Chain A
C-alpha cells in the first residue's frame, strides 16, 4: 500500500479505476475512488498519471524508507512533472519527457 486518494479532491471520473492494471480501485456510492484492499497496490502509479485533478498521491511506505516522503504527478502529454516532498516540507520537482531517452 502506498497510494492515498484525497476524497475531497476526487471528482469521481473513474479514470483511475479503469486504468489500474490490478483492478485494485473501486468507486463508492458517491463515485469517489478507493482501494478495496490497499495491500494489492503495485505502486505502478498509472492511476496518478490518469487522475485529472491530482487527487492521488503516493506516500513512501515506512517499510521502504523510514525517512518517509510523498509524491504527486502532473502529466501533460509527453511531459510529466514528478513533485516530491520530504517530511520536513522540502520540495523537489523532476520533469521527464517521453521524447528523451534514458542515458543509462
Chain B
C-alpha cells in the first residue's frame, strides 16, 4: 500500500451532521487547519442521505431548555446526563436559526413564525439538509475534505494525535496526524439480524453504513463508554422500515391493534413503551398492529406522499403503487436493536466540552453518550460545543513532545495489518478462509438469538448472553481467516470488526444491568423489574482484553 501522511491541527472523523457542523464552526472561528475525513462523499453520507422530515428537537415559545431536559430524562427513565442535555437544549434554537440562514427551508406562518409539530418539533424540508451542510463546509478556506477514506483506528501515545485508515478507491494507506481529534461517525446498525431477509438486509431505518467505527476505535484505545445497554429499537412502517413520526405526530395517527382497539395509552407513551406495547399486543394475539391513518383527507394523503419522498422515498412508492394511508392503516413493527447515542444514551462518556476520557479526543452526535433525543439539531449543537471544546483544549495544552518511536511503530503495525488482510489469499494456499459476509450473518444470528433480538421479542437472559459472548469472541478470532481481494473488501472487513467489538461491549452492558429499565430496549428476562440500586450509569472500559464495568452516579441539574 502506498502511504500518505496528512498533517493538520484538527482532525474530524466523519463528515455527517455533527462533523460537518463542527468543521463549519471551527472554520469560521479559527485559523486552524481542519481536515474532515469520511468513508463516503459528504454530500450524502450518513443518516441524512435521503433527507429528514422534521427538526425533532426545538424549544417552542412558552417552553424552556430545562423542559426538554425533563422530557428526555423522563423518556429514558432517568438514565441520562442532564448536564449534557441542558447544554444541548440551550443551543437548539440558535442552531436551527443558523441552519435556516444557511438555506434550510423551515415552515413558517403568515407572521413569519416557525410552525411547530407539538411543542418540540419543527416542520422543514430536510431533503437537501446534507447538501447544505456540505456546501457550507466547503466554503471554509481552512478546511480540507478527504472522502472515501475509511478510518479504523486512533493514533495515540498518551494523547490522541490522529487516526489511521485506508482509501477505499485509491487503495492507499492514510496516516492523519493532528493535535486534536473529533470523532463523529454516528451510531451502529447491522449488529442484530434485521427485519428484512438477506437480499433486502439493508432496508433498515438507521444507516447501514454507520457501523460503529467511532465506538470501536475508542474502545480499542481504552475510552470509557456509557449506557450501551440502552439499545434503540424503533417502531417503524412495516417492511419499508420508514420513520413513523410524521404519521404519529404529524397527522396524529394512533396505535391500533387488529381488534380495532387503540392500545397506546395502555402501555404509556415513552419511546420504549410505544414499542413494548406493540410487542405485547402481538404476543397476546392482537397483532398485527397499525397506525390508524384511514379517513385522513386527500390533501393530507398528498402531503404525506411529499413528506416521505423527502426522507424515505420507498414508502411513497409503496403507497402510490398499492394503497395509500387514507384507505389502509399503516402496519408497524419494531426494528432490530441499534446502538445510537442520538436517540438513546449509548456512547462515549464525555465531559461538558465533549472531550472523552482520552485526552485530545472529542465526540459529538450519535457516537457521544449520555444525551438521548438529540436528533439533527442536537447533533449540530454538540458539533458546536465540541468545536469550542477543541479550541479550548488547544489553547490550554501547549505542544507536547510526542513519543515518536511509539507512534512510528503503531503506524507500521497498522499498515502491516491492512496489508496482511489484503494478501491473505496469496500467503497461505489451501488455508481455511471465509467470506466477511458469512461472518456478518453469523454475528447477526448470534445477537438475534442470544442477546435479545427480534426473534426473542428483545428478551435476553444471562445464560444466553454467556453463549453470545463466547460465540462473538470466536468470530472476532475469525477476522484473520477472511478472504479480501481489495480495499472494498477491506472496508467490509473493518465494518464487521467494528460491529463485533460493539457487540462484545454491548453484551457486557446488558449483563451488568440486572433489572429491566426500559421495556424492549433492555428486556432482562432474569430481572424483569426496575431496581432502585440501578439508578446509575453502567460504564465500561476495555483493559487488557477484558471489559471492566463500572457504575457511576447520576448527574442531575437543578430546575432553572
Contact = CB atoms under 8 A, between A and B. Distances in A.
Interface of A: 1-2, 18-23, 26, 36-46, 58, 60-61, 63-65, 67-69, 71, 78, 80, 82, 84-87, 92, 94, 96-104
Interface stretch (B299-307, B332-340, B504-512): B299-307
Contacts of B313: 43, 45, 58, 71, 82
A92 B302 CA distance: 12
A69 B313 CA distance: 13
Given A23-B148, A101-B124, 10 more contacts: A19-B41, A21-B49, A21-B207, A58-B313, A60-B317, A82-B316, A92-B320, A94-B306, A97-B125, A102-B126
Contact of B107 (A58, A92, A98, A103): A103
B198 A39 contact: yes
11 contacts: A2-B203, A19-B41, A42-B208, A64-B240, A65-B318, A78-B128, A92-B320, A98-B125, A102-B124, A104-B251, A104-B300
Interface of B: 39-41, 43-46, 49-50, 53-54, 105-107, 115, 117, 123-128, 147-148, 168, 196-204, 207-209, 239-240, 246, 250-251, 300, 303-307, 309-310, 313-314, 316-318, 320-322, 437, 488, 491
Nearest to B129: A98
Given A22-B40, A39-B199, A98-B128, A44 B321 contact: no
Given A43-B314, A101-B106, A101-B107, A68 B125 contact: no
A39 B202 contact: yes
Closest 8 CB pairs of A and B: A104-B250, A69-B321, A101-B107, A44-B49, A46-B44, A22-B209, A103-B303, A102-B307
A38 B201 CA distance: 10
A100 B304 CA distance: 13
B44 A19 contact: yes
Contacts of A37: 437
A94 B148 CA distance: 33
Contacts of A85: 321
Contacts of B307: 102-104
A103 B106 CA distance: 10
A39 B44 CA distance: 19
Nearest to B122: A101
A20 B147 CA distance: 11
B557 to A, nearest CB: 33
Nearest to A103: B303
Of the candidates B41, B240, B307, B321, the one having the most CB atoms from chain A within 10 angstroms of its own CB is B321
B203 A102 contact: no
